[in-house]
């Protein structure tokens, strides 16, 4: 299981350091910045699994960062937890309405933030929390690195496994070839776009079980998705 990538946007150095320490201790892969614009750049370059965003930061404001993350295709679905010192309900609601998934009011204990991060990740990316994912009749166990369909064990290469896992984390959602390259092969991989097709085909072949239908949907001129069949 690869570590979950967190992006922490916090301009109080001591708090940032404390949180970074705690999260790394929990096995997360943490990057930190104090600046909103930096945060956006970092998020675009390497899409994190979750963003922890202080409402009051230098440069671009927290809510603006949130809005922009939501606007970009690649980061639109990254969960965001906002840190806010405000008691004001309007701000909390506005944060949630802007697209934040959760907020936590300062002062908070690191432990509670950890619990929230874990809860959000579990909801969004069960595989990161070590839980198995199920889509239709396909079950993927990230801990055992096993895939089963209708009780039968499936055999596939490492790339097909990662591709399947990536797709299963967002069932039904269509990913472009570029998104798949970023998500499965890693940002900045220098791979031919069409190579994705080939791996999709290998994946299709790997999940073939007697009379079961193909769970991989091709969306012409858009990409691929996996769905319950």
Interface residue list for DNA (CB under 7 A): 156-160, 185, 189-192, 194-195, 197-202, 204, 218-223
Instruction: Check if the beta carbon of residue 62 is closer than 8 Å to that of residue 42.
Output: no
Q: How far apart are CA 110 and CA 22, in angstroms?
A: 7
Rule CB under 8 A: which residues touch its own copies? 79, 89, 92-93, 96-97, 99-102, 109, 111-112, 115-116, 118-120, 122-124, 143-146, 157-158, 172-174, 219-222, 225
Q: Which is closer to its own copies, CB of 198 or CB of 222?
A: 222
Q: How far apart are CA 48 and CA 19, in angstroms?
A: 16
Is 6 strand, coil or helix? strand
Q: Which does 145 bind (CB under 5 to 8 A by kind): DNA, its own copies, none?
A: its own copies
Tokens 């890693």, residue located: 186
Instruction: Check if the beta carbon of residue 226 is closer than 8 Å to that of residue 168.
Output: yes
Closest approach of its own copies to the CB of residue 187, in Å: 19
Q: Which does 208 bind (CB under 5 to 8 A by kind): DNA, its own copies, none?
A: none
Beta bridge partners of 141: 146
Q: Which is closer to its own copies, CB of 58 or CB of 217?
A: 217
Q: Which is closer to DNA, CB of 17 or CB of 192?
A: 192
Q: Which is closer to its own copies, CB of 34 or CB of 119?
A: 119
Q: Which is closer to DNA, CB of 25 or CB of 201?
A: 201
Q: Which does 191 bind (CB under 5 to 8 A by kind): DNA, its own copies, none?
A: DNA
Q: How far apart are CA 170 and CA 76, in angstroms?
A: 13
Q: How far apart are CA 6 and CA 56, in angstroms?
A: 19
Instruction: Check if the beta carbon of residue 216 is closer than 8 Å to that of residue 224.
Output: yes
């Amino acid at each position: 299981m690869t570590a979950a990538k967190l992006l922490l946007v916090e301009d109080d150095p001591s708090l940032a350091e404390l949180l970074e320490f705690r999260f790394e201790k929990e096995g997360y892969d943490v990057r930190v910045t104090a600046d909103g614009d930096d945060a956006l750049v970092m998020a675009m370059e390497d899409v994190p699994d979750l963003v922890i965003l202080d409402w009051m930061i230098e440069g671009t404001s927290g809510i603006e960062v949130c809005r922009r993350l939501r606007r970009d295709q690649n980061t639109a679905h990254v969960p965001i937890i906002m840190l806010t010192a405000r008691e004001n309900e309007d701000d909390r609601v506005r944060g949630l309405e802007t697209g934040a998934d959760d907020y936590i009011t300062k002062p908070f204990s690191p432990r509670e933030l950890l619990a929230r991060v874990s809860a959000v990740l579990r909801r969004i990316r069960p595989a990161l929390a070590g839980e198995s994912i199920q889509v239709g009749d396909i079950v993927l166990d990230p801990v055992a690195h096993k895939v089963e369909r209708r009780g039968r064990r499936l055999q596939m290469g490492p790339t097909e496994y990662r591709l399947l896992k990536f797709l299963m984390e967002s069932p039904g959602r269509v990913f472009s070839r570029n998104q798949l390259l970023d998500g499965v092969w890693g940002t900045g991989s220098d791979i031919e776009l069409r190579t994705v097709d080939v791996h999709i085909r290998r994946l299709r072949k790997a999940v073939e079980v007697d009379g079961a239908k193909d769970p991989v949907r091709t969306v012409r001129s858009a990409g691929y998705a996996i769905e319950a069949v």
